[in-house]
Structure 1
Amino acid sequence: MKIAKSGLELMEICKEHHISLSEYAIAREVEDKGVTREGLFAHMQLTLDAMREGATLGREKEVYSLSGLIGGDAYRLEQYLKSGKSLMGEGVVKAMAMALSSAEVNGSMGKIVACPTAGSCGILPAVVLTAGEQLHKTDEELIQCLFAASAVGMIIGMNATFSGAEGGCQAECGSGAAMAAAAVVEMMGGTPKMSLDAAAIIFKNVLGLVCDPVAGLVEIPCAKRNISGAISALATVDLVMAGVDSKIPFDDALAAMYKVGTSLPAELRETALGGIAITPTGIKLKNQVFGSN
């Protein structure tokens, strides 16, 4: 099976072979690495387990980053959810708590899955696990979903970037949300085109999102941007499953994301020299972390 180098090629290959995005990714891995399907699933089970652990730990107890800048918020959200006072309902708030938990575990130097990056590590687990719980999916089905996400991730990696230092947060949290939305669309029975439409919509909605970490640490505003990415992904899944398509195709949206990202000034690409990182409070927090005056 040929390697897809664009979203369009990916759709054409899936159509030609009558397969899903996940089956394309599985076929590529089997061919490229010479491993069995069973071996691939066993390895991905470890990834899923690590994602679930990271998305759970901060909801069960207060977890704080080593810097002390973030922590305890996933636990607070979980307690709020149990109060029954949520405006948006259990699924959305649980996804928010999961996304925050992974971000807080990352900041505490705990185990996370950097998918696609450490700074955006909460989005994919939150979306896939929340959707899986609501749809009563098995671990095997969740693993299939992760392979679907990887199919989209391969195209992003070939044609753009996942790096905040190169493309801003639109490349990190944007890519994480795009991969997550595409994967869950497949989980719900959507076609490869529908999955890529979801990813395209995500990118269009985050164009220009800067990377401006306070004190240069992947904590503020990164943790809460994981929440935003997760909710955006879940909302976009419903949008696409309702029959709404993207007027701008995936490849065009991805190209725009990359061009916008590389056009951002260096101050807005993970250097901590712009955005909220250089606000009075941002500078105060930086000095607090590093003991400067």
Structure 2
Amino acid sequence: MIKTAKALIELCREKDWKISDYVLEEESRGDEEKKAAILKELHHMLDIMKESTSRTLESGTNLNHDLIKDFGKKTWEYSKSGKKFVTDEKTLRAMARAFSTFESNAKMDVIVAAPTAGSCGIVPAALVTAAEDIDASDDELVEALLTSIGIGQFIAGYGTFAGSEGGCQAECGAASSMAAAALAQLYGGDVETCLNAASIAIVNILGLVCDPLGGLVQYPCTFRNASGVSNARVSADMALAGTYSIIPFDEVCKAMKEVGDAMPASLRETGIGGLAGTDTAKTLCGKIFGK
């Protein structure tokens, strides 16, 4: 497997490949039967993503506590209200879909951890909203998903996807980076554009701590899924516009690992510091856990 983004760019230029082409070839080792099996599984994952992004938009969550409750439904209804928005309808719908997928996880429904359950809403919401926007086919979405997988492999190679090791930057940051690269490819970007989008997304979220209330992967994680897909969309557009990260993708990933290692334990999914350590959080956790 290629170890650096520089080598990936060179290989893709030589072969006239997208990142998705490289990932599929690498994972299948050129075996056509295995390639077909991988694509079949990815189509299955895409179907789950589509379902999870819409699951709570109309019905709400019916969860028994108030850490997160009907955020997907509220945002979806707002996106269709006809009001003047601070952002735009497409971004609101992407955020609603990220909420829906995350709420599905909270309800113990089936989701795709992309790359983790705590960041599960970002990649699906990005892909489904893009499909609605540009009428992308399922085959094109699967190609974009392969690109996100390739970006994730680099991030994991340099660091971690675990919030307990690297903070939320390792979960929602990684997912946002993966989604940004996938979007850049879907909207016509070349390999370097995809890598710039991935880099920008990490730069925008570098240092994000993991501070869930009561150790539950719900709050503030739900907002970070919605903001994460927004970050992915913004980062992809920045890269497609021609802006770029002056720090190469490999070094950005290394920096994320170093920042994660430097975080105190209280800010790495222990439920002790940050928002989890506030008076309101402690009161809410007392009600939830009966303490």
Q: TM-score range by the shorter chain?
A: over 0.9
Q: Match for 2:57 among 56, 59, 83? A: 59
Deviation at 1:73, TM superposition (A): 1.1
Q: Deviations over 1:29-77 (max 9, x none)?
A: 2118874333222111110011111110011211144655212110111
Deviation at 1:80, TM superposition (A): 1.3
What corresponds to 1:106 in structure 2? 105
What corresponds to 1:224 in structure 2? 223
SS of residue paired to 1:286: helix
**Which residue identity does 1:193 align to in structure 2?**
E
What corresponds to 1:13 in structure 2? 11
Structure 1 residues 3-152: aligned runs within 5 Å: 3-31=1-29, 35-65=33-63, 68-87=66-85, 88-152=87-151
What corresponds to 1:241 in structure 2? 240
Q: CA RMSD for the aligned pairs? A: 1.4
Partner Cα separation in structure 2 for residue 35 and residue 263 of structure 1: 44
Deviation at 1:248, TM superposition (A): 1.0
Residue pair 1:66, 1:107 contacting (<8 A) in 2 also? no
Residue pair 1:66, 1:109 contacting (<8 A) in 2 also? no
1:254 partnered with 2:253: yes
**Which residue identity does 1:265 align to in structure 2?**
P
Partner Cα separation in structure 2 for residue 44 and residue 281 of structure 1: 42
**Which residue identity does 1:275 align to in structure 2?**
G
Structure 1 residues 125-274: aligned runs within 5 Å: 125-274=124-273
**Structure 1: gaps of 5 or more residues:** none
Partner Cα separation in structure 1 for residue 196 and residue 119 of structure 2: 21
Equivalent residue pairs, number: 290
Partner Cα separation in structure 1 for residue 199 and residue 64 of structure 2: 36
Larger mean Cα displacement after TM superposition, 263-272 or 197-206:
197-206
Structure 1 runs (4+) deviating above 3 angstroms are 32-36, 64-68
Instruction: Rate the CA distance shift 1:278–1:145 in 2: closer, same or farther, 3 A.
Output: same
State the TM-score, normalizing by the size of structure 1: 0.95
**Structure 2: gaps of 5 or more residues:** none
Partner Cα separation in structure 2 for residue 254 and residue 44 of structure 1: 25
Residue pair 1:4, 1:155 contacting (<8 A) in 2 also? no
Residue pair 1:64, 1:70 contacting (<8 A) in 2 also? no
**Which residue identity does 1:125 align to in structure 2?**
P
- Aligned identity (percent) is 41
Residue pair 1:6, 1:159 contacting (<8 A) in 2 also? no
SS of residue paired to 1:170: helix
Instruction: Rate the CA distance shift 1:285–1:86 in 2: closer, same or farther, 3 A.
Output: farther
